[in-house]
Amino acid sequence: MKITFGGHSCFCIEDEGHKLIIDPFLTGNPHAVWKPEEIDVQFILVTHGHGDHLGDALEIARRTGATIIAPNELALYCSSKGANIHPMHIGGSRQFPFGKVKLTPALHGSAIEEGLIYTGNPCGFLLFMNEKVIYHAGDTGLCSDMKLIGEYTPVDLALLPIGDNFVMGIEDAVEAAKFVKAKQVVPMHYNTFDLIKQDPLDFKKRLNGIAACAILQPGEYVENI
């Protein structure tokens, strides 16, 4: 399994011929390493409707025929724009060809900023793939629900926002790592814009052995988690 960081909160996951992308914010992302037309995936997972997460999902889905997996209201919006969808909601899980997906709570908002079209609840994702578990927290603040993930799900890799202002800052992200009990964490959603500037090395230092920490530059990856 190979998990490549695409900048901001975007990750591409490849495993045994399956390929999916999460929150493909590429156009307008100063740190993006891919162009939308270069992405060829079977599934697109979107945590919420904000432009820096929905990103280029519609363009990629319409071109490739990929299925967008998202919270129900956001998925229906994507369907109205011509995309193949699979709608889900918080707490629900579903088996797909690449593995199982379960939606987790995220403390945030969800809307298409142009026209302020509300798109339901935001979410995080638990991905169960090839006997490994990946937790993409989405845009969220610290919440006690993360303790339930740590108690009931053996997470191998947690992708946690640290950018503050709109999401958890470093201190709360460290607490989230404690709650989730992941073996390894990767910080995300930071340094894309001035408003979310953070030092990932400070995050790694504060973890202090709670979990291994991989700080990825866009285009870098972890594998064999």
What's the confidence (pLDDT) of residue 180? Answer: 98
Contacts of 225 (CB under 8 A, 6+ apart): 1, 3, 132, 134, 156, 157, 183, 184
Supply the pLDDT for residue 46.
99
What is the spatial distance between Cα 133 and Cα 104, in angstroms, rounded to a whole number? 13
Contact call for residues 48 and 103 (beta carbons, < 8 A) = no
Contact at 8 Å (CB) between 129 and 13? yes
pLDDT at 225: 84
What pLDDT sits at residue 144? 96
CB neighbour list of residue 7: distance below 8 Å, 6 or more residues apart: 25, 26, 29, 30, 31, 32, 33, 192, 218
Write down the pLDDT at residue 212. Answer: 97
pTM: 0.98
Residue 212's CB: how many other CB atoms inside 10 A?
15
Question: Given this model, what pLDDT does residue 224 score?
Answer: 82
Q: Tokens 């079977």 — which residue?
A: 42
Whether the CB-CB separation of 177 and 158 falls below 8 Å is answered with yes
Kindly list the averaged pLDDT for each block of 10 residues, start to end, along the chain of length 225: 97 97 97 96 98 98 98 98 98 98 98 93 97 98 97 97 98 98 98 98 97 98 91
Query: Quick one: pLDDT at residue 118?
Result: 96
* CATH number, domain 2-217: 3.60.15.10
